């Protein structure tokens, strides 16, 4: 099934049914008077989130959702039937925006969240409502009202705890396949991953988190270069970023016969690649560069043991991270990881879980606890 994460649709509530103009005509009842019933209300359009959907595929061809109109009122004070309402299901993580202004109308961050998008129009009142002591024969009724109409843009942002980012062919798909039960497409060419992949990583003591494999980013991604910013939005909801440096690229530089100072060249290359990706994240959304981040050198098994080149690059990057990003590097950062052999994977996942736990606790403090400092202190005690 094709991965669809954006769609623009037209929605409208049903038109209210008109009221009825009617007069009683019964035997032995002179001057029966008006008995026109009210028109039925138009149906409404409601959105509901569900974990059973993973894409916006359903909106690829069907672009209009109109609720049913209310029926006409009739004589003997019979009200018209209300129009049929419709419920539109969307995946959890869907953001609904006004298609014209871009304003966020609703954000479905949990399962079974409900949002009334367009109300149906009210039914018109029958002529019975307009009788008065001085106006005994009303020969008119109200028409029904129009339902609300709206053009909305749906954006799906995957709900994952951790995102794997990096240049194309850095091994993100291999890593998520090794760490979880996800089975993304893996090949030895750039941009193998064309859509995000989700996997549940299970640790000991019943601990787990959701990891997302984001298609490769390159310089200019925020402007649409490569796969562009289309998938950058999937990073916005994550708490921790795992940044992969391609060990195969580092090895290719290390084995060039013309290089005089191999270690210096490796450090400059790794720093440039790492900085480029961070710049792209910041240009797309400045908040992304302040997320918790873990840097790893992937495919570390390719380097022959005993040369010490990889360790020198690791030490130099560790010392330089503090000047590139606001947070101090972790003790073992950048982690040396191999998806092929599993080397360093357990340590990486434990570090990711630790960072994730801290970030979630911080998020709960900032969003759930009151602003009153005294109440914050009480909650901590």
Nearest to 315 by CA among 297, 339, 289, 291: 297
Domain extent listing, the chain: 1-156, 162-368
DSSP state of 268: H
Find the mean pLDDT for residues 125-140.
89
d(CA 298, CA 343): 10
DSSP labels, 39-87: PPPPP-EEEEEETT--SSGGGTT--EEEPPPPPPPBTTTBPPPPPPPEE
- Write out pLDDT tens, residues 64-82: 999 999 999 998 899 999 9
Rounded to an integer, what distance in angstroms lies between the CA atom of residue 226 and that of residue 223? 9
- The model carries a pTM of 0.68
Separation of alpha carbons 85 and 147, rounded Å: 11
Over range 292-306, report the average pLDDT: 86
pLDDT band at 375 (very low <50, low <70, confident <90, very high): very low
Q: Would the pLDDT of 91 be above 60?
A: yes
Please check whether the two domains, 1-156 and 162-368, share a CATH topology.
Answer: no
Of the CATH numbers 3.40.1350.10, 3.40.50.150, 3.90.45.10, 3.40.50.300, which one belongs to the domain with range 162-368? 3.40.50.300
101-131: per-residue pLDDT in tens? 989 999 998 889 999 999 999 999 999 999 9
Query: Which one, of 114, 92, 95, lies nearest residue 46 by Cα?
Result: 114
Is 188's pLDDT higher than 70?
no
For the stretch 243-267, pLDDT in tens is 998 888 888 877 776 655 777 888 8
264 membership: H or E segment, kind and range:
helix 262-284
Per-residue pLDDT reduced to its tens digit, 340-355: 898 999 999 999 999 8
Measure Cα distances from 29 to 23, 25, 104 in Å: 12, 8, 59
CATH 2.70.210.12 fits 1-156, yes or no: yes
90 pLDDT above the threshold of 60: yes
**SS3 call for 343:** coil
pLDDT given at position 21:
93
For residue 81, the model assigns a pLDDT of 94
């Amino acid at each position: 099934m094709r991965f669809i994460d954006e769609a623009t649709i037209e929605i409208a509530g049903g038109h209210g049914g008109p009221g009825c103009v009617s007069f009683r005509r019964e035997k032995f009842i002179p001057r029966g008077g008006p008995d026109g019933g009210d028109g039925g209300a138009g149906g409404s359009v409601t959105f509901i989130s569900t974990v059973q959907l993973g894409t916006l595929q359903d909106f690829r061809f069907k672009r209009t959702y109109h609720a049913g109109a209310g029926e006409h009122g009739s004589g003997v004070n019979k009200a018209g039937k209300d129009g049929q309402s419709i419920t539109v299901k969307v995946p959890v993580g869907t953001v609904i925006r006004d298609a014209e202004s871009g304003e966020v109308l609703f954000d479905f961050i949990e399962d079974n969240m409900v949002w009334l998008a367009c109300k149906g129009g009210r039914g018109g009142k029958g002529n019975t409502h307009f009788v008065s002591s001085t106006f005994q024969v009303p020969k008119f009724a109200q028409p029904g009202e129009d339902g609300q109409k709206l053009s909305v843009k749906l954006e799906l942002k995957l709900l994952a705890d951790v995102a794997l980012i990096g240049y194309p062919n850095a091994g993100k798909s291999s890593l998520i396949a090794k760490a979880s039960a996800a089975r993304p497409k893996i090949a030895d060419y750039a941009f193998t991953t064309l859509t995000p992949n989700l996997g549940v990583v299970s640790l000991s003591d019943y601990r787990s988190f959701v990891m997302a494999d984001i298609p490769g980013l390159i310089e200019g991604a925020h402007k649409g270069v490569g796969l562009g910013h289309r998938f950058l939005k999937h990073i916005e909801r994550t708490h921790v970023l795992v940044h992969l440096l391609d060990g195969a690229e580092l090895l290719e530089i290390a084995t060039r016969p013309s290089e005089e100072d191999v270690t210096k060249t490796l450090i400059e290359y790794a720093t440039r690649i790492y900085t480029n990706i961070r710049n792209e994240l910041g240009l797309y959304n400045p908040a992304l560069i302040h997320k918790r981040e873990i840097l790893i050198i992937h495919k570390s098994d390719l380097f022959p043991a005993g040369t010490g080149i990889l360790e020198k690059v690791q030490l130099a990057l560790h010392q330089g991270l503090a000047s590139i990003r606001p947070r101090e590097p972790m003790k073992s950062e950048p982690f040396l990881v191999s998806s092929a052999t599993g080397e360093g994977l357990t340590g990486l996942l434990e570090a990711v879980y630790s960072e994730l736990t801290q970030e979630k606790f911080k998020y709960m403090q900032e969003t759930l606890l009151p602003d009153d400092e005294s109440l914050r202190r009480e909650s901590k005690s």
